[in-house]
Amino acid sequence: MYDFALVFSLRHARREPPMALTREQIASIAALARLDLTASEIPVYQDSLSRILDFVGALDRAQTTDVVPMSHPLPGLSQRLRPDVVSEQDRHEQYQANAPQVAAGLYLVPKVIE
């Protein structure tokens, strides 16, 4: 096997990470992300998310004082604007052909207000 851990001196090898996420934390992240997890999925994500966070913790070692965060790979390009004119046609029937439930041009969901 190739010792990637050695390469980066990252202590990501199979072990209990120092800051393991709790079941409750995973449940709360899943709720924020609107993901319904089964009981058996929670420990799987507890383990792997803890190890991923431990792994990306290597970033702490980088000296980034005064470094501007990079959000776009081609710096210096400004956001392009277009004239404020109608460019889209009404194609709702075509788009709604993919919807699970539609009536009278509206998307149907369970009742929200009693």
* Positions in the binding site for another protein (CB under 8 A): 2-4, 6-8, 10, 12, 14, 26, 29-38, 41, 44-45, 48-49, 51-53, 55-60, 62, 64, 67-75, 77, 79-80, 82, 91, 94-101, 107, 109-112
CB of 50 to another protein, least distance (A): 11
Tell me the closest approach of the beta carbon of residue 24 to another protein, in angstroms: 13
C-beta of 18 vs 100, nearer to another protein: 100
Nearer to another protein among residue 23 and residue 31 (C-beta): 31
Contact criterion met (CB below 8 Å) for 30 and 36: yes
Token reading at 53:
């966070």
DSSP per position, 6-23: HHHT---SSS--TTPPPH
CB of 113 to another protein, least distance (A): 10
Q: How far is the CB of 23 from another protein (least distance, A)?
A: 13
> Which value, in Å, is the radius of gyration of the alpha carbons in the chain?
23
Residues 27 and 49: their CA atoms lie apart, in Å, by 12
* Distance from C-alpha of 45 to C-alpha of 29, rounded to nearest angstrom: 10
Q: Which is nearer to another protein, 32 or 104 (CB)?
A: 32
In whole angstroms, what is the distance from residue 59 CA to residue 56 CA?
6
